[in-house]
Amino acid sequence: MSPTLATSRTAQTARWTRKDLLDLRTLSAEEIHLILHTAESFREVSLRPIKKVPALRGKTVVNLFFEPSTRTRTSFELAAKRLSADIVNIATQQSSLSKGETVLDTVRNLEALKVDILVIRHAAAGVPHLVAKHAAASVINAGDGAHEHPTQALLDLFTIQEKKGRIEGLRVSIIGDIAHSRVARSNIWGLMKLGAQVTVCGPPTLIPPQIEQLGVRVTHQLDEAIRDADILMLLRIQHERQEAMLIPSLREYRLTYGLDRERMSRAKPDVLIMHPGPVNRGVELDSSVADGPYSVILDQVTNGLAVRMAALYLVTTWRNS
Amino acid sequence: MAEFREKAKVMDAEAIRRALTRIAHEILERNKGSAGLALVGIRTRGAILAQRLAKAIEAIDDHPVPVGVLDITLYRDDLSRIAPNPVVHATEIPFDVTELHIALVDDVLFTGRTIRAALNALTDLGRPKTIQLAVLVDRGHRELPIRADFVGKNIPTHLRERVEVRLAELDEKEEVVLEAPVDAEVR
């Protein structure tokens, strides 16, 4: 009943000193904890009757998406709006990029309009880093190629912390197309920094060679990835992978790597199922599992909003450090 | 940043205790009892004082008083000016403020900007019947038209001086100290 006054030691001492949020590879464990702590504080805002605080009043955020996205873009848009920022959405299909303008020219034009934060998604790895180097505005990476998707990994870490009370010492298995997944890469960095043990699992064609060097365990047997795991993180299998002949067929993938109720019976009783969405029901994940009691897929979406509010807030206040 | 040295101890543990007991009585008197009353403390030391006031009020009136904690970081008017960047903590108000008499509690009343932020934060959560302000110390130098309803002690200060409230729950010591910048003492 009595409100807690205690706050984690890390969050008390850590300070955000970065203009941008580009990846988890270069963040320290303290910085990750600070983001998670800040997100925890923001979660309450969305539970109020008036879901808005004035923290970013007068700031302008641009969602610059060179790749189609609904959930990440919507999540950033709502996060900005709940912080009272103004937000503009730019999708490539309707922008000058389809007229041949370069990314940096687009950014320079936006900067001439005095925007404060650029949220960027691009099919090529490194584009947000490039823009961050040239722009005075803060840049948040909303997914670049198969490189990183930091806010997705942060919301996954937040969800694990929320449900399990800790991250350190947990066994996390990431299952699916590791080779093409920015979600997997960001999660591997984040989970390892916070002391979890990571296993990646998938067909050899979808596991990058030498990924062991990151410190993860590799298996091609789904049952081995399920056994002992505290968290099962499923990745979306994209139809293009079949066309590229990396998997024989979606049906075959399902038979070998699809998570169904029968396979779930061999998992730990308190296992959590996570998925960054959108779910391919009946391919990587059976409906009975996706909607089952151990699924936290919708909690991930809810927490994503709080994490993105934290990201927008922190990159806005970085100058003060 | 300037170095500060203690100039005077303005309240000891006993003085703080007596001031809080008096404020508890005054809050009850003003609101004719504790029905429909709730306390909201401003992080961090205001929240501790609110807990203590709630206990004192319950000891007098025999009714538990709900207590909440308000974090006003997101409502500050100096977010882009202060250094270093403030860590946001959660607001924890486990009751609906609408139609309640809210006693807002803070340790030191100075410019009034914190209270302005707290008023905005509170009214975003609902529509309290009244909002009253209780502070342990009023040190003057208001920059906004804000005053306290309940004051533990009025302390005349110089603008450059600092009032440090130390509470046992957080600081091991229990005292209110007036500090002056070292260079000002030399001159």
Q: If you ran DSSP here, which 8-state letter would residue B73 be given? A: G
Alpha-carbon gap, residue B184 to B186, rounded angstroms: 5
Q: Is the predicted pLDDT of residue B93 greater than 50, yes or no?
A: yes
The pLDDT, as a whole number, for residue A7 is: 41
Spans of chain A, pLDDT less than 70: 1-13, 93-98, 319-321
A222 Cβ contact partners less than 8 Å away, ≥ 6 residues apart: A175, A201, A256, A257, A259, A263
B112: alpha, beta or left? (left if phi > 0; alpha if psi -120 to 50): left
Give the CA diameter of chain B.
54
Q: Are residues A280 and A178 in the same domain?
A: yes
Beta-strand pair B4-11/B175-181: antiparallel
Asked if A4 reaches chain B (Cβ–Cβ under 8 Å), the answer is yes
Q: How confident is the model at residue B148 (pLDDT cuts 50, 70, 90)?
A: very high
Judge if pTM exceeds 0.80.
Answer: yes
The pLDDT, as a whole number, for residue A321 is: 44
Domain-embedded: residue A2 = no
CA atoms within 13 A on the CB side of A261: 5
The pLDDT, as a whole number, for residue B80 is: 53
* Pair A218, A200: CB distance under 8 Å: yes
Residue that wins the pLDDT comparison between B135 and A47:
B135
Q: Which of A36, A41, A117, A138 to mutate to test the interface with B (most CBs of B within 10 A)?
A: A41
**Is there a cis peptide before residue B84, judged by omega within 30 degrees of 0?**
yes
Domain-embedded: residue A295 = yes
Q: Do the chains contact at A12 and B87, CB–CB below 8 Å?
A: yes
Domain-embedded: residue B1 = no
Q: What is the CATH number of the domain that holds A114?
A: 3.40.50.1370
The pLDDT, as a whole number, for residue A13 is: 60
Domain-embedded: residue B129 = yes
Asked if B124 reaches chain A (Cβ–Cβ under 8 Å), the answer is yes
Domain-embedded: residue B174 = no
Alpha-carbon gap: A49 to the closest alpha carbon of chain B (Å):
7
Alpha-carbon gap: B156 to the closest alpha carbon of chain A (Å):
30
The pLDDT, as a whole number, for residue A12 is: 52
Q: Are residues A73 and A133 in the same domain?
A: yes
Q: Is the predicted pLDDT of residue B31 greater than 60, yes or no?
A: yes
Nearest to B87 among A2, A11, A43 (CB): A11
Among chain A residues, the shortest Cα distance to B45 is held by A5
Q: Are residues A17 and A85 in the same domain?
A: yes
The pLDDT, as a whole number, for residue B66 is: 96
Q: What is the CATH number of the domain that holds B54?
A: 3.40.50.2020
Residue that wins the pLDDT comparison between B126 and B81:
B126
Domain-embedded: residue A1 = no
Q: In what order do the strands lie in the sheet with B162-166?
A: B4-11, B175-181, B162-166
Beta-strand pair B162-166/B175-181: antiparallel
Q: Are residues A143 and A25 in the same domain?
A: yes
Q: Are residues A118 and A166 in the same domain?
A: no
For residue A314, what are the domain limits? 9-149+302-320
The pLDDT, as a whole number, for residue A1 is: 32
ipTM of the complex: 0.72
Q: Are residues A199 and A260 in the same domain?
A: yes
Q: Which helix (H) or strand (E) holds B9?
A: strand B4-11
pLDDT digits (tens, 9 = 90+) for A117-136: 999 999 999 999 999 999 99
The pLDDT, as a whole number, for residue B139 is: 97
Q: Are residues A113 and A200 in the same domain?
A: no
For residue B110, what are the domain limits? 10-162
pLDDT digits (tens, 9 = 90+) for B48-57: 999 999 999 9
The count of domains in chain B is 1
Domain-embedded: residue B169 = no
Nearest to A71 by CA among A234, A290, A279, A278: A278
The pLDDT, as a whole number, for residue B95 is: 93
Beta-strand pair A117-122/A138-144: parallel
Asked if B182 reaches chain A (Cβ–Cβ under 8 Å), the answer is no
Q: Show the DSSP H helices in chain A as ranges.
A: 9-13, 29-43, 71-82, 103-112, 127-134, 150-164, 182-193, 222-226, 239-243, 250-257, 261-264, 287-290, 297-317
CA torsion A215-A218-A222-A228 (nearest 10°) is -40
Domain-embedded: residue A3 = no
* Pair B70, B90: CB distance under 8 Å: no
CB contacts of B87 in chain A (<8 Å) are: 7, 11-12, 14, 34, 37-38
Q: Are residues A292 and A158 in the same domain?
A: yes
Domain-embedded: residue B5 = no
pLDDT digits (tens, 9 = 90+) for A60-76: 999 999 998 889 999 99
* Pair B66, B35: CB distance under 8 Å: no
The count of domains in chain A is 2
Q: Are residues A109 and A209 in the same domain?
A: no
B84 three-class SS: coil
